[in-house]
Amino acid sequence: MLRFSFIFLCLFLTACGGSDGISSLSASGASYCGMPSGAQRIAGKVTSVHDGDTITVNGESIRLGSIDAPELAQAYGSQSRDHLSALVLGQQVTVTYAEKDQYDRVLGTVFTPDCSNVNLSQVASGAAWYYEAYKCEIDIQLRMAYATAQTTAKASSRGLWAAPAMAPWVFRNGVDAKVPASCPNGDGPSG
């Protein structure tokens, strides 16, 4: 129980801008709620939740970055969507981002007014995977938070981890995603 409490204290400090001596700014130097983030912002009400990692804000499709939720046709897909809906549907949020994906969706991090990182909440609750294949695109502070959240959820058999789970990228493509051993910015593996 003490280990579990310590991990969540670390996640809380990360969400609140607490420092572990690692740079708290993203490559762009932008931050939001004390966390590294994309420099662009969208603020508004969440009008729909498509699945466990895609929402609509101000008519803009938002794909939650750094995570991948089960497809709706997969085991735990609808529960993942329902969890995200409970967190944000009808609520005001701020989305920070730096780019759009190949489907013209904003690829961002969603924050609630109290500065909770919704993407990280999905992973911590066992409603989504940390998408390590793209870990070099985020700050090491966030990499560590996502990796810790997933490890804790898995060890506690939370959400999708309560039963054997197939990663959505394997479900979609039939192959596992290639995870970089280290990142070009010298941060090394996330663990």
Catalytic (active site) residue 41: no
Q: What is the DSSP letter of 127?
A: S
Active-site residue (options: 3, 60, 81, 105): 105
3-state secondary structure 4-25: HHHHHHHHHHHHCCCCCCCCCC
Q: Which of these, 30, 137, 145, lies nearest to 94 by C-alpha position?
A: 30
**Helical pair 2-15 and 140-155, crossing angle rounded to 10 deg:** 150
Catalytic (active site) residue 137: no
Catalytic (active site) residue 3: no
Sequence-ordered list of residues with C-beta below 8 angstroms from that of 115, at least 6 positions apart, any chain:
15, 16, 33, 34
Active-site residue (options: 63, 81, 132, 143): 63
Active-site residue (options: 3, 41, 60, 71): 71
- Proportion of the chain in helix, strand, coil states, percent, rounded to 5: 35, 25, 40
Q: Which of these, 157, 176, 180, lies nearest to 166 by C-alpha position?
A: 176
Amino acid type, 107: L
What is the distance between the alpha carbons of residues 172 and 74, in angstroms, rounded to a whole number?
10
| Residues that are catalytic | 63, 71, 105
